[in-house]
C-alpha cells in the first residue's frame, strides 16, 4: 500500500510532484495498489493523487523526539485509550505491570491485520464498495500489489502475520487477526479497525508491502495523524502509536538488516497519514508497516524469502513486545 509517490528528497510538499503524472504512474501503485488502487487500507493510488494524502494534521516533524507533541510519550499506552475501555481492563493493566518488568505478557492483546486478502482479486465488486473512514469515503479494501514475478502482497502479509502470531503467543500475548485466509475477501478497512477496537487491543499492526517504483527500497512505518471527523477520532492514539512505531523501526532494522525506506520518511522509516481508514477509525494504538517494496528487485528478493520473512516476524514481535513493556 501506501503511496510510493514521494521522492527521496522530500516529504509531504512533494505532493507537488503529483504534477508529474509519469512519476506518479511509475511509483504510486501504492503498495497495495498495483492490482487494485491504493493501499489495502485504501491508501494512495495513482488514480487519486492529491486527495490521497492530505496534509497530515499532527504529522510528525522529522527530528522531533518521539514522545513530544500531542502526547507525553512517557505515559503508558494503556492509559491513552482508557476512555475507550471497559471496566474489565484494569486487570489487563495490572498484568501489564508484570510485563513491564520483563516477564510474561499474558493478558496483553495484540491485533494483527494481514493487509488485503488473497481472495480480493476475485471479488473486485465487493471490495470496491465505499465505506466511511471518518474524513472521507473509500474503497472497502484493495487487492494489494505483488512482485513482478507475481508473489502477491496478500500472501506475503498473511505469511508474516502467522509467523508473528506464533512468536507473540510464545510471549504470552493473545493475538487477534482481522482475517486468516478464512474468508473469501476483505474485511473492509473500517471492520479491520473495529476488530482491534472490540478486542481492546494493547497494540495493533497492519502488515503490508509497498508497490512503489524500482529503486525505491526499504521499509517504513505509518502512524496515524490527528483526525477528528465523523466517526474518526485519533487524538488519543497518536502518542502511543508513535511510541509503537519507534519500537518497530528500531527492532525491524536490527532483525532484518533492512534499511528505512529511501523514498519516504526522510530516511527515518516513519510516515504519518490521515487518509487510511484502518488508522483513522482505530481507538487503540495502531500503525501500518510497509515491510519493503515488492516492485524493487532487491527488496523482492527479501520479501519472497521465507527466512527473511521469519526475520521480519522477529523484528515485528520484538518491536511490539518492547512497546508493551515500555
Return d(Cα 210, Cα 153) in angstroms, integer. 8
208 binds Zn ion (CB under 5 A): yes
Are 135 and 30 in contact by the 8 Å Cβ rule? The answer is no
218 binds Zn ion (CB under 5 A): no
* Buried residues in 257-276 as b, exposed as e (16+ CB within 10 A): ebebbbbbbbebbbbbbbbb
Return d(Cα 225, Cα 69) in angstroms, integer. 11
* CA atoms within 13 A of residue 171's CA, in its CB half-sphere: 28
40 binds Zn ion (CB under 5 A): yes
Is 153 one of the catalytic residues? no
Q: Taking contact as CB under 5 A, which single stretch among the options 32-40, 44-52, 254-262, 309-317 is the one that binds Zn ion?
A: 32-40
Contacts with Zn ion, 12-31, as mask; x by CB under 5 A: -------------------x
Least separation in angstroms between residue 144's CB and Zn ion is 5
Provide CB contacts within 8 A for 83, sequence distance 6+: 236
Least separation in angstroms between residue 317's CB and Zn ion is 20
32 binds Zn ion (CB under 5 A): yes
Residue with smaller CB distance to Zn ion, 115 or 186: 115
Q: Taking contact as CB under 5 A, which single stretch among the options 3-11, 77-85, 205-213, 295-303 is the one that binds Zn ion?
A: 205-213
Contacts with Zn ion, 121-160, as mask; x by CB under 5 A: -----------------------x----------------
Measured in degrees and rounded to the nearest 5, phi and psi for residue 89 equal -80, -15
Q: Which residue is nearest to Zn ion (CB)?
A: 32
Burial class (CB in 10 A: 0-12, 13-18, 19+), 201: buried
Least separation in angstroms between residue 43's CB and Zn ion is 7
Maximum separation of any 2 CA atoms in the chain, in Å? 54
Which amino acids are annotated catalytic?
A: 290
- Summarize as ranges the residues that interact with Zn ion (CB under 5 A): 1, 31-32, 39-40, 115, 144, 208
Amino acid at each position: 500500500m501506501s503511496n510510493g509517490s514521494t521522492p527521496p528528497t522530500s516529504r509531504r510538499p512533494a505532493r507537488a510532484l503529483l504534477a508529474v503524472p509519469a512519476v506518479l504512474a511509475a511509483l504510486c501503485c501504492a503498495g497495495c495498489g498495483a492490482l487494485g488502487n491504493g493501499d489495502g487500507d485504501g491508501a494512495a493510488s495513482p488514480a487519486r493523487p492529491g486527495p490521497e494524502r492530505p496534509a497530515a494534521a499532527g504529522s510528525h516533524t522529522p527530528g522531533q523526539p518521539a514522545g513530544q507533541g500531542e502526547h507525553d510519550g512517557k505515559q503508558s499506552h494503556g492509559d491513552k485509550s482508557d476512555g475507550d475501555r471497559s471496566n474489565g481492563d484494569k486487570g489487563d493493566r495490572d498484568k501489564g505491570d508484570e510485563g513491564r518488568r520483563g516477564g510474561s505478557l499474558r493478558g496483553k492483546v495484540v491485533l494483527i491485520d494481514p493487509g488485503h486478502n488473497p481472495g480480493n482479486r476475485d471479488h473486485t465488486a465487493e471490495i470496491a464498495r465505499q465505506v466511511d473512514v471518518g474524513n472521507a469515503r473509500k474503497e472497502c479494501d484493495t487487492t494489494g500489489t505483488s512482485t513482478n514475478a507475481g508473489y502477491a502482497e496478500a500472501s506475503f502479509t498473511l505469511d508474516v502475520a502467522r509467523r508473528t502470531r506464533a512468536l507473540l503467543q510464545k510471549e504470552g500475548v493473545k493475538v487477534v487477526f482481522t482475517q486468516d485466509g478464512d474468508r473469501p475477501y476483505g474485511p473492509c478497512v473500517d471492520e479491520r479497525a473495529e476488530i482491534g477496537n472490540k478486542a481492546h487491543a494493547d497494540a495493533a499492526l497492519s502488515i503490508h508491502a509497498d508497490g512503489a517504483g524500482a529503486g525505491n527500497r526499504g521499509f517504513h512505518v505509518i502512524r496515524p495523524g490527528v483526525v477528528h471527523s465523523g466517526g474518526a477520532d485519533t487524538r488519543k492514539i497518536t502518542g502511543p502509536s508513535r511510541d509503537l512505531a519507534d519500537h518497530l523501526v528500531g527492532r525491524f532494522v536490527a532483525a532484518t538488516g533492512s534499511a528505512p525506506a529511501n523514498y519516504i520518511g526522510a530516511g527515518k522509516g516513519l510516515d504519518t497519514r490521515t487518509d487510511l481508514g484502518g488508522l483513522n477509525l482505530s481507538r487503540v494504538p495502531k500503525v501500518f508497516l510497509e515491510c519493503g517494496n515488492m516492485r524493487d528487485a532487491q527488496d523482492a528478493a527479501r520479501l519472497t524469502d521465507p527466512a527473511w520473512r521469519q526475520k521480519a516476524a522477529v523484528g515485528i514481535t520484538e518491536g511490539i513486545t518492547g512497546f508493551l513493556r515500555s
